[in-house]
Structure 1
Amino acid sequence: MLNLFPEEKITLDLPDAIVEYYPNFFSKEKADELFALLDKNTPWQQDTITVYGKNHPQPRLTALFGNEGKPYKYSNIIMNPHPWNSTLVHLKELVEVKANHHFTTVLLNRYRNERDSNGWHADNEKELGRDPIIASLSFGEERTFQLKHNTLKEVKQSLILKHGSLILMKEGSQIHYKHQIPKTTSPKNARINLTFRTIL
């Protein structure tokens, strides 16, 4: 039994975008099980990114799964997908029902500790289309998720992404906003994030 709680939905009060947060998409027991499965069975890798002309190890581990022939490019990294496994197909189907949207790929991120992060960005690569819908599952350590509007500088929001939660970034979210998972000085255990996208 998955023990989903679909009625627990928080719609963020944001202009120009629809962002929905489901803090208890999975029960703690199911989220614990999924974290262990994903942590053990994912072929994690650490790519090199180029920032201001200098190469740096990406501050987290990643893995891409998806439909055959659909690579994903971001930050001068090109990732070719592993074939879907049964766990990821199951999660994709659950998320697709909630999002009412079909996804073709999932990028897994493993934040090992408080020093791992994901800086300000939008998921606005051209292969995602003009106004993509992004779904993000979180397992493991709670981390702060931040949003800021591109032109309305006073519009900012922070959210603690809980173990077993789902956030849906829908219409307008990648056009008008950037988001990040910042580093922190507080000690943090591992977090696994699954970000579902549709590559056109």
Structure 2
Amino acid sequence: MGEQRPLAPREAWWAVAACVLATLPLLARHRVGLPEERLGMRLRFADGTSARVYRETRLGSGSAKDPCTLVVVFRLRLVRGSAHVLFRAESLLNTPLFVGFPGFTSKLWLTHDERDRYRGVYEWDGQERAEHYARSLWRILALVSVPGSIHYAVLPGLRRDEAIADPGPAAQGPTPEDTAAWWRVKSTA
């Protein structure tokens, strides 16, 4: 996958601030939707873990012209047991931290897996935009996540729904030789 690192603090925080400002008119015009058709879907990953979709967020049609799938993983500090339920409820308040980023189209929010890791599976319009978002998001996640637990995978040219419906194309992602890839969906249920 190559070296992953966050953006410089100043650049990341400016990007997040711009995102929040861009989100306000989107919310006011009802451009942000919460579709329910994928709720409860279980995604199984190549590393042997699985998680259920507990929310989907979509901007407009949710379809990108230059599709790119982004998968982000992190493990929250101090969130165990019933605190996961509280986090999932609270996480809706985090919507302004990503919806206004240029290129965002949709996100599947996944429950914690067997290793207490959360994942977001996104579709972005443009590989560079997805990478910029992931590196900006890192600064926010670092405030609440276990050090070393934040990672992302960018799968250019692949729609999110293709990546979860047909795991074959995702095998061409960042490390195809890695059969235990945390980011590669093996199946859905």
RCO greater where, 1 or 2, for CA within 8 Å and sep 6 or more?
2
Q: TM-score by structure 1 length?
A: 0.30
Between Structure 1 and Structure 2, which shows a larger proportion of helix residues? 2
Between Structure 1 and Structure 2, which shows a larger proportion of strand residues? 1
Q: TM-score by structure 2 length?
A: 0.31
